[in-house]
Amino acid sequence: MGWAIALHGGAGDIPRSLPPERRDPRMATLRHSLDLAVAALQAGRTALDVVELVVRELENCPHFNAGKGSVLTSDGTVEMEASIMDGNTMSCGAVSGLSTVVNAISLARLVMEKTPHIYLGFHGAEAFARDQGVETRDPSHFITDENIERLRLAKQANRVQIDYTQPMKAEPPSDDNSRIGTVGCVAIDSSGNLATATSTGGLVNKMAGRIGDTPIIGAGTYANPLCAVSATGKGESIIRHTVARDVAALMEHRGLPLKEAAARVVAGVPRGDVGLVAVSAAGEVTMVYNTSGMFRACATEDGYSEVGIWPQADSDANANGGN
């Protein structure tokens, strides 16, 4: 068996013309986060600790749609959400509507460990964060110039924008692609413990109060003793198809192996709507999507690693490198 890790930075219609200044910082952060995860697993850290560690790192990167890089609501505000789940105990925690918490994923873990509840949102979640003494910042800390411009363009085009969609008509014709993606991580440690964590800022120009798939256990995030799954893409579609839970259900009730279960679930969601990363209790890893690409990375104890964006068949640079 052995340990295994997989992480994502969002899936969508990612053009191959994505310029280096947009692509490289994201790929560098994925590689750095993967290195942190591998070192932590090799040092004997639990899967739960590792998925939180990785997602915190991704939340702190302004190039992804979580934490510092969270996109803006139609009101010009940030509403972050996250969830985390322990596969062996099936304990879980989730938060929504955060505007001041630096690392939403750590607050989700505190909900799991310090309250009798699973899900806290908005004012109640913010109050709990203050009670727990987690790091908070003024809401302006999370509002970047890039996301202000992204919101302006979305409003001009009168649309809600998902992660990594193709440029809107209102955008310049260059391959600027400033879309950024939901983040997530799944892991199994050397003791066989499974865990998953997912975090996001949601959709560009979403209605204030909108909740997506990320904090909904069974939709964007799920783990049990068989597998751990973190999804990304169009939240409403992921919720309708209970994507993360369905992967586990196919393994549990149909006896399918992880890769087949994940592929079947993704194939059942409208094309262009979803990607996911998952690991199994046997140490298998899969990273599958029906979008044009997904920022992703993985590693296993037997020495395999992969960092990439587009389908592996198009480039041999994915394995031990990236494209």
In angstroms, the CA 51 to CA 34 distance is 11
Q: Is 46 tagged catalytic?
A: no
Q: Pull the structure tokens for residue 185.
A: 């991580």
Sign of the Cα pseudo-torsion (195, 306, 242, 199, in order): positive
Q: How far apart are CA 155 and CA 141, in angstroms?
A: 22
Mode of pairing for the β-strands spanning 194-200 and 221-223? unpaired
Q: Which of 160, 164, 199, 201 is nearest to 77 (CA)?
A: 201
Query: Angle at Cα 165 formed by Cα 284 and Cα 4, nearest 5°?
Result: 15
Nearest to 228 by CA among 239, 240, 216, 244: 244
Catalytic option among 182, 221, 232, 242? 182
Residues marked as catalytic:
182
